[in-house]
Structure 1
Amino acid sequence: MEVVVVLLVVLAVLTVIVLPSSMRVIKQYERGVVYRFGRVNRLPKEPGPRLLLPFVDRMTKVNMQVVTMPVPSQEGITKDNVSVRVDAVLYFRVIDPIRATVDVQNYQFAMLQVAQTSLRSIIGKSELDDLLSGREKLHEGLELMLATPATGWGVHIDRVEIKDVALPESMKRSMARQAEADRERRARIITADGELQASHKLSEAARAMDANPAALQLRMLQTVVEVAAEKNSTLVLPFPVELLRFFDRAAAGRQDPPAGGPAQAPPQPAPPAEAADSAGSPEVAAADRHEGIESAERAELPQAATPQIPEPRTPEE
């Protein structure tokens, strides 16, 4: 009887010691890979409490959650010879815990190295514009490059994204100048287009005012009203040339002869009677003839030569 009691006590002690070491609890987001005498069990353990054989079974827990792994910045030269620094982020999860623990030593480190190599490769195959604006295709290419080795390791690639593209300062300044020049070009085009439309409207307004000259005067008066509304003490009133032409045409219309009648020459004033009588007397005619003869004789007489004064001589002469 005493022997039985001793055996029961020993069994209870062994149970208390061995049971905690053989009992394992697997969480919902984990799976257990059991090794029995070094051989892996083909069926992973599901979540919940699991009892292992003491000194026989060894279990490794594998996390089945999505792992967010930042990829360090990688330097490279793009296809259009631009030196850039690119970093990315990788999202993956384990779908086959046995492969992830048996076929690869450390699947997280392996995925990090593959991601760095693929990122450098994608930089060399892409242009700078693709890295800055067309990243969707690059993400698809990176995911395809990573999925090939990850499938054999029991890992599924959920997503790969490029986080940031660091450019040299000289390249940033060049891109800023290019963007500034492009915006200035568009601003000049818009300004020129506005001036063209304004010129069309002004030409239409000029034609309307030319057809009705009174419109120009009304416009001038409206301008005067707008200027006078500012409470100015001095008012400069422009006088348009078209208004002068309007007055010229109005004056010419009043001076035109009536239609159907010949134009009459204005009457010439009659000479005075005393001038006519004096011009017709014989004494006046004889005096005029005598003055004409004397003037002709004076014109025929040779003019006296101007006396020349000899130049003084120098002492040497």
Structure 2
Amino acid sequence: MIFDFNLGLGTVLLVLIALLVSTFRILREYERGVVFMLGRFWKVKGPGLIMVLPGIQQMVKVDLRVVTMDVPSQDVISRDNVSVKVNAIVFFRVVDPQKAIIQVENYFVATSQLAQTTLRAVLGKHELDEMLAERERLNLDIQQILDAQTDVWGIKVTIVEIKHIDLNENMIRAIARQAEAERERRAKVIHAEGERQAAESLRQAAETLAREPAAMQLRYLQTLTQVAGDKSSTIVFPVPVDLLKGLVAGVAPPKG
């Protein structure tokens, strides 16, 4: 009988020690514990050493670090009726552990589903050219919408980045042809602008030479010097029209 009493006392001591050990919890710096007492929310504890009474209190750990979530590829139809596949990445973190546990069943799944629907909704309002050229503005629009909708869950969406926009082969070829046509158009515009500037420079030079007749003679002599230095067997000798008029007037017989 004494043996049974000692055995029972030892068991009780072991149970008490186990309960005492399970009462103390250690939470890391980036962790918080949402504590419920008899099923009702009590307080948020941590980090460090905390006490949770077994059987009376229950604790749910929440990680406060930034979570990197990959948004799967979404089929998006742009405003100009182009079908594309778009995937993105979302960075968010828990700022209110109480809301993250009480207001939503699984904040990670909820944020993921909301990010997918928001990505389709926002990109569907823009044309393909805007998706390709204005990613920063689209990233900001998606981030602001997600942040506003997840605020009631205690979630802060910090960054949204569109990673890749996948186009089919026909659309890629069409974009290549469009880019080639755009480059040709720019080349023609640049060439025409160069011709206009050259014509303007020639007009200004002609006006300067017209005001100074001696300048025309100097220009003529400079041209002769350039022709004389040419080793070609054929020499084109330019003769000013004014000079020919003077020669014709000098050799013409007098009237009467």
Q: Do they superpose with TM above 0.5?
A: yes
For residues 45 and 28 of structure 2, the distance between their equivalents in structure 1, rounded to whole angstroms, comes to 10
Deviates more, 1:176-185 or 1:69-78: 176-185
Contact 2:86 2:164 (8 Å CA) reproduced = yes
Matched-pair contact (CA < 8 Å) for 1:91–1:157 = yes
Q: Judging changes above 3 Å, is the alpha-carbon distance between structure 1 residues 103 and 204 closer, same or farther for their aligned structure 2 residues?
A: closer
Kindly indicate whether residue 68 of structure 2 is the aligned counterpart of residue 64 of structure 1.
Answer: no
Residue pair 2:88, 2:162 contacting (<8 A) in 1 also:
yes
Write the deviation string for residues 234-262 of structure 1: whole angstroms up to 9, x where unpaired.
Answer: 5322122438x7367336426666xxxx9
8 Å contact 1:114–1:146 — kept in the other structure? yes
SS of the residue 2:54 aligns to: coil
* Residues 40 and 26 (structure 1), Cα distance of their counterparts in 2 relative to 1, 3 Å cut: farther
Counterpart-to-counterpart distance in 2, 1:107 and 1:224: 88
Distance 2:243 2:15 in 1: 128
What residue in structure 2 maps to residue 172 of structure 1? 172
Q: Is the 8 A contact 1:42 1:98 kept in 2?
A: no
Indicate the residue corresponding to 2:237 in structure 1.
Answer: 239
Deviation at 1:164, TM superposition (A): 2.1
Post-superposition Cα deviations, 1:151-207, rounded to whole Å, max 9, x if no partner, equal 332222223332222222222222222222222222212212222332344455567
Cα distance in 2 for residues equivalent to 1:26 and 1:204: 83
2:18 equivalent to 1:17: yes
Q: Distance in 2 between matches of 1:88 and 1:192?
A: 44
Matches within 5 A, 1:114-153: 114-153=114-153
- Matched-pair identity in %: 39
Q: Which amino acid aligns with 1:250?
A: L
Call closer, same or farther: CA 1:40–1:190 in 2, change over 3 Å: same
Any idea what SS the aligned residue of 1:41 has? strand
Distance 1:256 1:78, change over 3 A: same
Q: Which has the higher strand share?
A: 2
Distance 1:32 1:206, change over 3 A: closer
More relative contact order in 1 or in 2 (CA 8 Å, sep 6+)?
2
Deviation per CA, 1:10-57: give whole Å up to 9, x if none.
7764454333322210111111122334x1432111211112223433
- Is 2:254 the partner of 1:253? no
Partner of 1:222: 226
Q: Deviations over 1:263-293 (max 9, x none)?
A: 6xxxxxxxxxxxxxxxxxxxxxxxxxxxxxx
C-alpha RMSD over aligned residues: 3.3
Q: 1:86/1:20 Cα in 2 relative to 1: closer, same or farther (>3 Å)?
A: same
Gaps of 5+ in 1: 229-233, 264-317
CA deviations on 1:65-115 (whole Å, 9 max, x unpaired) are: 221211111012111111111112222221222222233221101111111
Output the CA distance in 2 between the equivalents of 1:144 and 1:215: 69
Change (3 A) 1:127 1:203: closer
Equivalent residue number for residue 74 of structure 1: 74
Give the residue type in structure 2 aligned to 1:178.
Q
Q: Which has the larger radius of gyration?
A: 1
If the length of structure 1 is used for normalisation, what is the TM-score?
A: 0.66
Q: Which whole-Å CA distance do the structure 2 matches of 1:183 and 1:140 have between them?
A: 31
Answer with 96-105 or 40-49: which moved more.
Answer: 96-105
Shift in CA distance, 66/239, structure 1 to aligned 2, threshold 3 Å: same
Paired residues of 2:36 and 2:43 also in contact (CA < 8 A) = no
- 1: CA distance between counterparts of 2:189 and 2:57? 80
Asked if 1 retains the 8 angstrom alpha-carbon contact of 2:227 and 2:237, the reply is no
The residue number in structure 2 matching 1:26 is: 27
Residue matched to 2:182? 182
1:266-281 superposed matches below 5 A? none
Secondary structure of the 2:237 match is coil
Q: Which residue of 2 aligns with 1:279?
A: none
Question: 1:30-49 to 2 correspondence within 5 Å?
Answer: 30-37=31-38, 39-49=39-49
1:143–1:160: 8 Å Cα contact kept in structure 2?
yes
Distance in 2 (CA, whole Å) between partners of 1:204 and 1:238 is: 26
